[in-house]
Amino acid sequence: MADVAGVDVSSALCRNRGLVTSREQDLLAHASVAIVGVGGDGGLVAERLVRLGVGRVRLIDPGFFDVENLNRQYACTASTIGMPKADAVAATLRDIAPWATIEAVTEGIDADNASEVLDHFELIIDEAEYSLPRVSALIYEQARRLDVPVISGVNIGFGANIFAFNPNGMSFDEYLGVDDLDSPEAVEAAARAWCPRVPPYIDFELVQAIVRGEADVPAVSHSVAAVAAGVVQEAFNYLTGRQPLVWVPRYVEIDLLRRSTKVRRASRATFLASALRAKFRPNRAW
C-alpha cells in the first residue's frame, strides 16, 4: 500500500500480521460498512474498524455530544461537547486512518432517505437507541432489501450482547414480536429483545423503569469497549469469511463480571426468568 497523507499504510497496519492474513487485509481494505449511531457503542466500533483496516465507513447520527457522554462515548471530550457526533467521530477517524474513506451523515434515518443512506454497503451495524424501534425497523428492512446482514451490539451491565440478523432469516419485526412500532409496548419489547437475560446485580426496580422507558440504561466505558470488541470481531468474521455469524434468535453474551462469553438463545421466557431472579435473589450468584 502507498503512502497516504505522509503515512505508510502497510507500516500502519503491520501489527495485524500474524493474526490477519494478507488476503483478509485486502478484503478489509475494500470493505464498506455503514454504522447507524456513533455515540457510545457505535463510535468505538467505528474506531476499531478503521484501525483494523476497513477501507470505507459511513457514520450516521443526528445527535450532538453532551456532558453526560464523557464517561463512555468515543470522541466526546470537553472540546467536542455540542458538536454533531458523526462529525466529531469522523474527524478523529480521518486523523487515525487517512487512507480510509470516512463519511459523516448528520441527519437521522427515515422512510425517505433510508435507501440513499444505506445503499452500497456490504455490512450495516445498528447502534441506534433501543428506545427508537421504528428507526431500527427501517435499518433492517433496508438491509433485507439489499441482502446484507446487520450486526448490533448492546452494553448490558458489566458486559455486552452481540446480535446478527441474516437478511434471509428471522426479521427484526419477528424478533421484536410487536406490530405497532410506535407504541409503548414496542419500546418494552425492544428492551427485552436487546437484554434477553437480566444481570442479577442490576436493581429490579431500575429494570422495570428501563422497560417502561422511564429511566436511562446505566452504562460504563468498559462495557462499551466490550460491545466494540464483540461487534468488530463479528464484522471481521463476516467481511473476511473467517467464521460464520451467530444469527438471531441466538446471540453472543459477554459477561465481564463473570469472565465468560457464551452463545445463548433469546426468548421471552428467559427474560422473565432472569428478571424474577434479579428480583428475588439479587447478587446471590456473586
Rounded-to-integer distance, Cα 219 and Cα 131, Å: 15
Model confidence pLDDT, tens digit, residues 24-81: 999 999 999 999 999 889 999 999 999 999 999 999 999 999 999 898 888 889 999 9
Q: Which domain holds residue 46?
A: 27-194+218-259
**What are the CA-CA distances from residue 103 to residues 10, 87, 94, 208, 219 (Å)?**
23, 9, 10, 38, 27
> In this structure, is residue 80 part of a structural domain?
yes
Give me the pLDDT at residue 281, please: 64
> In this structure, is residue 180 part of a structural domain?
yes
Model confidence pLDDT, tens digit, residues 227-268: 999 999 999 999 999 999 999 999 999 999 999 999 999 988
> In this structure, is residue 63 part of a structural domain?
yes
**Residue 46 and residue 92 in contact, taking contact as beta carbons nearer than 8 Å:** no
> In this structure, is residue 110 part of a structural domain?
yes
Type of residue found at 102? I
| Residues 91-98, mean pLDDT to the nearest whole number | 96
**Residue 139 and residue 36 in contact, taking contact as beta carbons nearer than 8 Å:** yes
Give me the half-sphere count of Cα atoms (radius 13 Å) on the Cβ side of residue 192. 22
> In this structure, is residue 139 part of a structural domain?
yes
Give me the pLDDT at residue 120, please: 93
> In this structure, is residue 280 part of a structural domain?
no
Count of structural domains within the chain: 1
Rounded-to-integer distance, Cα 18 and Cα 51, Å: 16
> In this structure, is residue 271 part of a structural domain?
no
CA 211 to chain centre: 20
User: Domain holding 49: CATH number?
Assistant: 3.40.50.720
**Residue 163 dihedral angles phi and psi, to the nearest 5°:** -120, 150
> In this structure, is residue 268 part of a structural domain?
no
Give me the pLDDT at residue 270, please: 84
Q: Residue 35's beta-bridge partner residues?
A: 59, 125
